[in-house]
Structure formats: C-alpha cells, structure tokens
Amino acid sequence: MKDAVFDDFLDRLRSESDIIGVVSDYVSLKKKGKNYWGCCPFHHEKTPSFSVTPDKGFFYCFGCQTGGNVFNFLMKVENITFIEAVRLLAGKMNIPLPEKEKSPREQARDQELAKIYQVNELARDFFHACLTKTNYGKAAREYLTNRGITAAMIDFFKLGFAPPAWDRLSLTFCERGIPLTILLKAGLSAARTSGDGVYDRFRSRIMFPITDVRGRIVGFGGRVLDDSQPKYLNSPETEIFNKRQVLFGFEHAYKHIRDSGQVIIVEGYMDVITLYSQGIKNVVASLGTAFTSEQARNLIKLNAELLFSYDSDAAGQNATVRALETVKALGAAIKIVSVPDGKDPDEFIRKHGAAAFNNLLTSAQPLLDYQLDRALKSGDYSTVQGKIAVVGKLVPVLAEADNSVEVNAHITRLSQILSVDENALRSEITKYIVQLKKDKNVKKGKTINIALLYKQIPPAALQAERQLIRLLCDDLTLIPYVLSKISPQEIQGILQQEIIKFIFTAYNMEKNITQATIHAGVDTLTEKAKTEFSHIMLMDIQFDDVVKFLEDCIKTIRLAHLTALYEQHRLMADELERMGDSSFLQELAESQRIKHEISKLHH
C-alpha cells in the first residue's frame, strides 16, 4: 500500500465518518446549540463538559482538556494505536482497508514476531505452573505469602517461578518443537560461552510477566529468593521488548489512571502488586530502571497527574530527582509522595494499611514545593555561609519555574525562613537568568529570548491568538493577509505558535489550501497542540465586522509581544548596568525602539 493510497484512504474515512455516531457508542450526547454535550469518558464528572462539534469533526473536554478528531477519540477510549483506530473506524463504516502486498522478507518477520509473542505466552504459563503446581515453587509461594501476596493476586498477575535447573525451560520447549532460535530471540535462553547449546536465562527466580498496553507478553522480570546478585534480572532487549517504552502494570492500571486522572509511579514489581491488592489500582512501575521520557509520554497521553512514590532511602530519593529531571521538561503535572521511615510503598502499606498510604497521596507535594524543601534540607542556614549555600540551590529552581503567583508566594515564604530580604532573593534570581543567557549565547552562538521573571501571557493576548487561529481556519482566504501582518514568533502561546506555524507552512506549500488539508494535517501536531486545536474549533466567537475583528486580534497580539520584549530588554539593561557591563546601553536603546513601536500601535 503506497503512502498516497493510504493518505487518500484516511481522508475518506475522516470526511465520511460521523463523529457524533462514533462518540455516541461510548457517551450519551445531547444537542445544545451547534454542538453536542455529554459526560467525559476520560474522567469522572457529574456535569457534562465534553463537547463534540459535528461540522468541524472534533471533540474537546473542558474538564480534563482532552481533545482531537475521530481517530484520537477511538485511540483514547479503546486504548489502541492509530493504525488500530483506523481499522476499527473502517470496520464501523464498512469500508474495506486497502491491502498492502508484503514482501517475503516482511512476511517472514511478521511470522517471527508472532512466534516470539507466542513463546513468551507459553513461558508465562510454564513459570506460573512451576510456582502454583510443583514443589519447585514451594519456597517462592511461602515468600510471597509472607509478603502479603494472596493466591488471587498471584493468579491475576500470573506470577511464576523459574526452576533451578540450568536448562529446564529450554529442554521442555525444544521437546515441544519450538526452535532454539526463537528462544534466543525472545531472551528466554542464552548461548553458552564455551561449547554448544544454551541455558535458561532465568533460574531460581520469582517471575513477573511484563506486558505491553495491549496485554501481550513482551518480557519478564525475575527476583531471587536469597541474597545472590543480581537481585532483579529483566529480559534483554528484543524485537518486541524495549524497557524504555514499557511500564509494569500499565495494562491493568490503564482504566484506573484514566478514571482517576492520576498515576502513581513506583520503583518495583512488588510495590505495584501490593498497592493493587489493596485497592490502589492506578499504579505502574518503571522496571527497576531510570524512569524514561518514553514512559512519561505514555502516561501524559492520558492527561494524568504523575505522582512519584519511590523509596524514601537515599537511592530512592536520587532516583526521584533523576525521574523529575526527565519529565518536567515535558510539561507534565507532577507531585511527589514522601514515604516516611526510609521505607518503600510496599513495606509502608503492609505495616500501616491502604488508608494511611492514601493519606500520603493526598498530601503529595507539587514539584516546586518538593524541590525547594529538598534545597532547604541540604544545609544549615543558621550561618551566613549556610544561607549563601542554600540560596545558591534555591535560585535555579525558582528561576526555572513558570508560575508567577506560585514563585512570588515561595519567595515571601523563603525570605522569612532564611531571614533574607525578598529583594535580595529576586536580585539573585535575576542575576542567575542573565548569566544563563550569557552562557547559552557563548555555547550555542545565538541569542535566545530571556523570559521576564514571573511573566505570563496576558489573557487578552491568549484569547486573541485563539480567535485568530479560528478565523483563519473558518476563512482560509485570510491567511495571506495575516502572513503579511504578523510572524509566528509574535505568538506567545507555545501551542498557539505551533498551530499558526502549521497553518502558514501548509499555505506556503500549496497556495490552494483547503479545509481538508488543514484537518488532515492536524495529525502532524503534537498531542497538546491537537488538543488545543480541538478547543479552538469548539470556541464560540461572535463579531459584526470580520475585518475589524481580525485587525483587533492582530493588534492585541502585537502589543502583547512588543510589551513583553520591552520588559525583557529593560530588565536586561538594568541588570547589566548594575553589574557594570557597558552593553546595557545597547539593551536600553533596543528597549526605547520597542517602546516607540508600542506607541505607534496605540495611536
């Protein structure tokens, strides 16, 4: 199937599909005005905030800010991939899928992958039987019982035990006609370093099957019963297993994450199983390795708040810091659950119960609070030198935060705790930002915009950006005029700028741009931008004169952009002058030039 054929097929599905009919299979909708409304299927709510617009073909929830087109809806509600959503929608519409003729090599690879999935499933059943039905698993059963894991949970998670013999699984499977090559490619067997033959990778270990979000077995984790090393052993990387992509327990937690709007991220398999057995089911683990950006994106797609509950010992706290560094750049909502007494969630909940752990979840700290508290605990600030050291750790955290109200509140609080003047703290933060800009200019050889401390997009500018996008999508003939009046760089909203760039690029690539081009190209946007686009398409904008309304939008956007630039250069000039840097004159001249531009716009 050539790409052009598939693109045409997608366009047909998109244009001929009835999004109201598709969504109605999952949500009870009622028409109000031009749109249809119902209770969101992606989070709990009593008052409908989920809206679908039939003429635009988009849905958007004003409660959990989830949105997209008919494909996005099916992907989210059914927990399936894009291709699977295409197949499902085509089936609902009775439209046959275009066939792709696979080469012999592609057919052979598909067959090999199917065999790897199959042998993993057989291995899961083999390990499970060894644990539950043989004397091999007696010690493992006693161990799990002592850890509070019931027979029901053993069966639910299909826990198993790898017998101690060097090649019991390999021999058993070979006798069943399974080729050694498949056992090796699945990571269940390993080649001997000396001589011929293979041995079992997992021996004398409690086995935890690892599934993908579709429930297919992609690998295993094994834990020893004694003090031998390594304590945990995972399957090696294979054609179907990449531990950076997979989260233990995700298949079972998916629905509960979506319903609660939160996901608890723990370090170990036992943490997941213990919490799940106690009714806390929106929990996953990162396979005993560092939490990755790929794992984070899988969770962020569910619009879930990420609650990190790693072990409270030094290693666990360091793992928490590494995980936070990974995810905070992705724009996720993050909180940190502090487990007392140096324990992991499994130990804590077995000792204190589910209610006590739920209290920890309720009192989880937002990311900024956690970072600041950690900095405060890092040293003794009763002395001048101690204050300087602690402030040195606090400043980067405050400088990189993006919520002005939150930052200002913390500055006031920290000045009281440290007995340091507020203005001194603000001065240190500004100095840090100025130095950061200088460092980046030297390293990257280019100028970057330094954000004004605590500056946010004015609500009027954000609304104008959204209204401008809506005008352009409703009337594509306006695009060349807007192109001549404004640049994407003047759009301050990150998501709005991405959408504007997409529209301008689409226009420049084909001058006869159509509504179909816009709606088809939306799938190339990031997830957050798709959601924002859906929100914009569901906005109700009213005006009497489209030309005046358009000019007002452009003027509001330009004024906000120039005002932000003016403040940035003014702040930079003040700081450089204070530091004795003569280049403040250049910044001052630029700020005056921008001020003149603002004056011209006003008049």
Amino acid making up residue 587: E
- Report how far apart the first and last C-alpha atoms of the chain are (Å, whole number): 59
Provide CB contacts within 8 A for 384, sequence distance 6+: none
Tokens of 203: 């021996």
245: Cα within 13 Å, side-chain hemisphere: 11
Per-residue confidence (pLDDT) for residue 344, from 0 to 100: 85
Give the Cα separation of 506 and 486 in Å (integer).
16
Per-residue confidence (pLDDT) for residue 228, from 0 to 100: 87
Helix axes 168-175, 104-133, angle to 10 degrees: 120
Give the Cα separation of 167 and 181 in Å (integer).
15
Per-residue confidence (pLDDT) for residue 442, from 0 to 100: 41
Tokens of 387: 């204050």
Overall residue count recorded for the chain in this entry = 603
Provide CB contacts within 8 A for 489, sequence distance 6+: 497
CA 495 to chain CA centroid, nearest Å? 16
Per-residue confidence (pLDDT) for residue 272, from 0 to 100: 95
Domains annotated on the chain, with CATH: 3-93 (3.90.580.10), 104-234 (3.90.980.10), 250-361 (3.40.1360.10), 372-444 (no CATH), 459-602 (1.10.860)
Per-residue confidence (pLDDT) for residue 443, from 0 to 100: 43
Per-residue confidence (pLDDT) for residue 437, from 0 to 100: 62
8 A C-beta contact, residue 200 and residue 169:
yes
C-alpha angle with apex 494: 326 to 462, nearest 5 degrees?
A: 135
Per-residue confidence (pLDDT) for residue 190, from 0 to 100: 93
Per-residue confidence (pLDDT) for residue 343, from 0 to 100: 75
Per-residue confidence (pLDDT) for residue 447, from 0 to 100: 35
Per-residue confidence (pLDDT) for residue 452, from 0 to 100: 38
Low-confidence ranges of the chain (pLDDT < 50): 1-2, 441-455
Tokens of 506: 């689409």
Per-residue confidence (pLDDT) for residue 110, from 0 to 100: 86
Per-residue confidence (pLDDT) for residue 177, from 0 to 100: 93
Q: What one-character DSSP code corresponds to residue 217?
A: E
Tokens of 185: 């490619």
Which SS3 state, helix, strand or coil, does residue 524 take? helix
Give the Cα separation of 594 and 545 in Å (integer).
30
Measured between alpha carbons, how far is residue 190 from residues 14, 180, 229, 382 in Å? 48, 10, 18, 58
Q: What are phi and psi of 282, to 5 degrees?
A: -90, 55
Per-residue confidence (pLDDT) for residue 158, from 0 to 100: 97
Amino acid making up residue 416: Q
Q: Which residues does residue 59 pair with via DSSP β-bridges, in sequence order?
A: 52, 68
8 A C-beta contact, residue 124 and residue 217:
yes
8 A C-beta contact, residue 250 and residue 287:
no
Tokens of 209: 């099957």
8 A C-beta contact, residue 67 and residue 42:
no
